[in-house]
Amino acid sequence: DGGITQSPKYLFRKEGQNVTLSCEQNLNHDAMYWYRQDPGQGLRLIYYSQIVNDFQKGDIAEGYSVSREKKESFPLTVTSAQKNPTAFYLCASSSGHSSYEQYFGPGTRLTVT
Amino acid sequence: DQQVKQNSPSLSVQEGRISILNCDYTNSMFDYFLWYKKYPAEGPTFLISISSIKDKNEDGRFTVFLNKSAKHLSLHIVPSQPGDSAVYFCAAKRWEKLTFGTGTRLTIIP
């Protein structure tokens, strides 16, 4: 059963702590993406990776970091430098070739207090 | 600078009628457009897409229209069903990146 998994569904952290969100896909997709969604706003691109061991900043990369050591995995770390970390985080993947559709995971709701 | 805009935050439509969701964009370099449907606390699911070289694409109850000169696209759902109630996002592609609109909440009234 192919798809994208994000864990956990809900995450709570204290201000000043780094936190890592997991994203795994078994679709054999080359490209992976991280977005955040805030109430009343669209999805905004944080980071993306077109291939293993390579990634690029999106539109709102400040305060975030990523790694892409394996094709299947693209974890996102929300650092203490991120001023407004509370949001709904979505991971996506795409084959990156002739298909432009991105397939999304179920999301992680991060709450920082 | 919002390059992709969905100016209607919400839309209510009677069951069985046509739902029309609109999207405007400013960047003429976008070469592919997509519509996604999203339920609360879930990831978006892909609905339908259209290349910039076409003006219409149809898939069952869903049709997307693209007017390049007006930089406008629309999603038509007919007939509308209660399960169509969700937030709909349009997205535009340039190179490998998608830019999303802010979404329109569609409510189908039984």
What are B13-72's pLDDT values in tens digits? 999 999 999 999 999 999 999 999 999 888 999 999 999 999 999 999 999 999 999 999
- The whole-number pLDDT of residue A44 equals 94
Cβ contact A43–B89 (<8 Å): yes
Cβ contact A43–B44 (<8 Å): yes
Distance CA A44, CA B53 (A): 26
Per residue in A15-33, pLDDT (tens digit) is: 999 999 999 999 999 999 9
pLDDT > 90? residue B96: no
Residues in B closer than 8 angstroms to A90, CB to CB, are 43-44
Residues in A closer than 8 angstroms to B32, CB to CB, are 100
- Closest chain A CA to residue B4: A42
Residues in A closer than 8 angstroms to B6, CB to CB, are 42
pLDDT > 80? residue A96: no
Q: Given pLDDT bands bounded at 50, 70 and 90, which one contains residue A100?
A: confident
- The whole-number pLDDT of residue A99 equals 61
Which one of A35, A41, A107 has the shortest CB-CB distance to B41? Answer: A107
pLDDT > 80? residue B92: yes
- The whole-number pLDDT of residue A98 equals 58
Q: Average pLDDT of B2-8? A: 92
Distance CA A48, CA A51 (A): 9
- The whole-number pLDDT of residue B60 equals 97
Contact by Cβ (8 Å): B48, B66: no
Q: Average pLDDT of A76-102? A: 88
Q: Average pLDDT of A89-103? A: 84
Cβ contact B4–A42 (<8 Å): yes
Distance CA B2, CA A98 (A): 27
Cβ contact A106–B43 (<8 Å): yes
Query: Which are the contacts of B49, defined by CB distance < 8 A and separation ≥ 6?
Result: A100, A101, B32, B33, B34, B35, B57, B64
- The whole-number pLDDT of residue A1 equals 61
- The whole-number pLDDT of residue B30 equals 94
Residues in B closer than 8 angstroms to A88, CB to CB, are 41
